[in-house]
Chain A
């Protein structure tokens, strides 16, 4: 406590000194002096709560997922069995000229969509870039900070394009989920209808992914958020209906983001377990004889 007090006194002293210099120089209290950043020592704060717990948990969660996804993407086996195809490898793109894992050809799309997502940006700017680590806690960087106004973070503006691509991938994942409802090789043959643990996991995954994808801030803007008048035309009234529905999803965007991140990892893990004969895909019922 005493150390913190001393640090703060020093902060305040620097700040007052800076203001005094400013007053002497220009007699203008509202002007700022770009060269001097007063009272800004890294991680200085008066907060006594566990402010570090949130960003630390998020950093841990992201790191574990990134490690798992990277290992699985490069593993290049145990990603397909019977009617189950891992979401990391879907759509399965196989070309003669490509000699590496097909996951690499597809994973950049969901990765890019999440990396540019407004929720994830908040999360990793806090947890990894420490700008700031928490509210009221001094982060990294001084006056040169330029946020998303310059390279590299200006690239975040491609988010809506990543959304378009992610929607295509999502449609393919729905197709994969539908395939789990039929025994392998009998897609849309209703005499071979079945429902397995794999079906349950695949459908949960695509529902969570849909909740996340269609609650996206960019989509919210595209369906009607960009309009100023909702009542002006029949088209804008319809847009408002869509906008309201997307807004409902968007209000829990963080929850959908985490649910879908966990579900996509777990779905892949389940496929790996089945493909490597660790567990069977238990079938609840099947019409196939």
Chain B
């Protein structure tokens, strides 16, 4: 059995620093197990948010060696022997304590999105080909790793102007829904800040559910925005067909 050298961020709103721990590594161990070992054997007051340990609840998001990751999906054996493993909280959101950040801003964004609005005469029969695109978006576990890595929120701190990739996915899931008739394009253009995304695809890279956030959600939304705001020919045809 080998030992892993870990440096875990300890601190709260008044200050903090990395603290070094030595953790024995067992077969199949993940970073969250190591954090639990520290809690159990060394520092019982280490704060960490977790729930399922199966990459389905999206609670144990953190930055492991600088990469936004789920701790329960980061295998200890993927680190080289002797490599120091840094574990720190998500940088994009306000720190509460140790590895726990306040992600409530995300829930506020969710409330701003017009909810599912079915057609009045909806027949409630859907075919697989119509819902397949939307089903991909429903895989989201709201771990907010995409929000954390998005440079618009992370580097530029434009939380006042951009709702972030997670909520682009939510808007896409509603806009592409065959039974929905709500229009969220004006919101997306004026308030959601779709223009802030420069499609550098980091959100897709970190998504633990492998949702193609940029290609399947954000870019199609950008194209719909082009239809409504920047392409007079498309707007003309859209107007004609919607009248009919």
Contact = CB atoms under 8 A, between A and B. Distances in A.
Given A218-B226, A229-B130, 18 more contacts: A5-B18, A12-B9, A15-B95, A16-B12, A30-B94, A30-B104, A118-B199, A135-B202, A136-B66, A138-B151, A143-B156, A153-B198, A157-B229, A226-B223, A226-B224, A228-B176, A230-B129, A231-B178
Given A46-B66, A139-B155, A147-B195, A240 B129 contact: yes
A123 to B, nearest CB: 9
A37 B193 contact: no
A167 to B, nearest CB: 15
Contacts of B66: 45-48, 136-137
B13 A157 contact: no
A120 to B, nearest CB: 10
B102 interface: yes
A192 interface: no
B158 A145 contact: yes
A14 B231 CA distance: 44
Given A15-B95, A19-B95, A46 B104 contact: no
A160 B81 CA distance: 50
A250 B84 CA distance: 39
A48 B85 CA distance: 10
A105 B66 CA distance: 47
Given A22-B94, A118-B219, A132 B88 contact: no
A127 B178 CA distance: 39
A154 B195 contact: yes
Contacts of B222: 157
A149 B193 contact: yes
Contacts of B45: none
- The secondary structure that dominates the B interface is mixed
B86 A228 contact: no
A116 to B, nearest CB: 11
A126 B198 CA distance: 10
A143 B196 CA distance: 12
Interface of B: 9, 11-18, 63, 65-68, 84, 86, 88, 91, 94-96, 102, 104-105, 108, 127, 129-130, 149, 151-152, 154-161, 175-178, 180, 193, 195-202, 205-206, 214-215, 219-220, 222-227, 229-231, 234
A160 B208 CA distance: 32
A17 to B, nearest CB: 9
B236 to A, nearest CB: 14
A250 B223 CA distance: 15
B198 A48 contact: no
B230 to A, nearest CB: 4
10 closest cross-chain pairs (CB), A and B = A149-B195, A46-B66, A47-B66, A221-B223, A135-B202, A145-B156, A157-B230, A147-B196, A229-B178, A132-B151
Contacts of B159: 32
Contacts of B226: 157, 159-160, 218
A23 interface: yes
A39 interface: yes
A36 to B, nearest CB: 8
A224 to B, nearest CB: 11
Contacts of A46: 63, 65-66, 86, 88
B155 A160 contact: no
A3 to B, nearest CB: 14
Interface in A103-159: 118, 121-122, 125-126, 131-132, 135-139, 141-143, 145-150, 153-154, 157-159
